[in-house]
Amino acid sequence: MNPRTTTIAILLAALAATPASANFGGGSKEEKKPASQGISSMSMTPREEAERLYMDGKEEAEKAKKDLAEKKDKNAEKKFKKALDRGERAIGLDPKYAEAWNLVGYSSRHLKKYDRALEAYAKALELKPNYAEAREYLGEAYVELGQIDKAKEQLAWLQRNAAASEEAKDLAKDVDEYEKAHPPGAGGARPGSASGAP
């Protein structure tokens, strides 16, 4: 046998011995999973699974917020429901996960489920009292409910403890807009105000 024939015979023998599913750089016919999907929830701790659910929910809430800005209310509602589901599942796995409680509050508030929102914000703040974002959102819930004195309590906390934060600025703007839209006087006390005083 000449060397060329020998080389061809060796290659053919190697190919015959190779499994049919071998990949020779031309790509696999099997669909490759992203790394995050390759992790089985069986191998995750409850906290890790809760964090995964929280991140999914947070992403849905951010998309919903964008939909609201674009006046796509129905789409936003669907996404807030998904975010709420993820948050509820996360706190089911880890009831001490303050950020997941905050997500439950945020999503519930946007779905007009104020009782659940207030409960969730209270739990987030019980777990993490210095959680500025939860304080802002709790204040915003109070503004939406017309309970301006309670909103101002949250604003005062933010101004004492996080004065330069976006949370303090955003809540101050909401309180100011509410007070401009509901001036004291002519109609008596403003909703949510015991004395009618600003």
pLDDT at residue 185, rounded to an integer: 66
Confidence of residue 131 (pLDDT cuts 50, 70, 90): very high
Is residue 24 predicted with pLDDT exceeding 70? Answer: no
3-state secondary structure 88-151: HHHHHHCCCCHHHHHHHHHHHHHCCCHHHHHHHHHHHHHHCCCCHHHHHHHHHHHHHCCCHHHH
The mean per-residue pLDDT over the stretch 110-124 comes to 98
What is the C-alpha to C-alpha distance for residues 164 and 183, in angstroms, rounded to an integer? 27
Task: Tell me the per-residue pLDDT of 33-90, one tens digit each, with 9 for 90 and over.
Answer: 444 444 555 689 999 999 999 999 999 999 999 999 999 999 999 999 999 999 999 9
pLDDT of residue 3: 55
